[in-house]
Amino acid sequence: MRQNERLAGCAGAVAPVTTRVGGPFVVMKRVFPVLAFAALALAAGAPRAEAVLIDFNAENSGTPALNWSGSPDWSVSGGSVDLIGSGPGGTAFDFLPGHGLYIDLDGSTSNAADAFSHVFLGLSAGTYVLAFDLAGNQRNAGFESVTVTFGSLVETFDSTVFTQTTPFTTVTRIVTVGNDPILSFSSSGGDNVGLLLDNVSVEGVPEPATLLLLGAGIAGLGLRRRRG
């Protein structure tokens, strides 16, 4: 589960501005064409890919594993990660109960993974929202860091922000990627204690031109309401 919190990231990072449009609408014949136009414009501008959400609850048949070697979905190179938490197959080092299985990015070999990676096969080039949950190590005050690489994004997160007791916190970034992009988490450290990772997602966003069309449609809706 995610907290309702959006983190700007480490010092110097700039987070995208997220606007949520909500609330009930009364659909009338005279405003329906505006809404339909906005919806069509939004659909036309988004990259042709469904949202992808990855948690780790089904990995390793739902069983925790120290020095987890990865799966068809995730590869581990240059070190190790631990699959910890609680799943149908058991419980191990569940520092944040209620989140199922998740990843300790510094595994039990005293050698943090150089790359914990996932290839988004079939994902088309375009602009996307990347989101993931990151937490402090929950064990000690040692320095931890992870560098996230995905298309145009290369950003490092560390324990100056994600302190020992920081719970899972959602990080979001807008990124531009090519076809079949690779998402990689590269962790530093070698004390078997790392930052914790869960709930990775990628979702298409409209192109800027589409946002302008949507804005024009909403403006038209407001004008029609004022005249009505």
> What are the structural domains of the chain?
6-18+49-205 (2.60.120.260)
* pLDDT at residue 22 greater than cutoff 90: no
Say yes or no to pLDDT of 16 above 50: no
Does the pLDDT value for residue 6 go beyond 50?
no
Q: What is the mean pLDDT of residues 99-106?
A: 98
Q: In this structure, are strands 196-204 and 101-104 parallel, antiparallel, or unpaired?
A: antiparallel
Confidence check: pLDDT of 160 > 80: yes
Find the helix or strand (DSSP H, E) in which 225 lies.
Answer: helix 208-227
**pLDDT, position 98:** 97
pLDDT of residue 5: 39
Q: Examine the pLDDT at 21 and tell me if it is beyond 50.
A: no
> Is this structure's pTM higher than 0.75?
no
Average the pLDDT over 176-180 and give the result. Answer: 97
How distant, in Å, are the alpha carbons of 73, 94, 179, 203 from that of 124? 18, 36, 5, 11
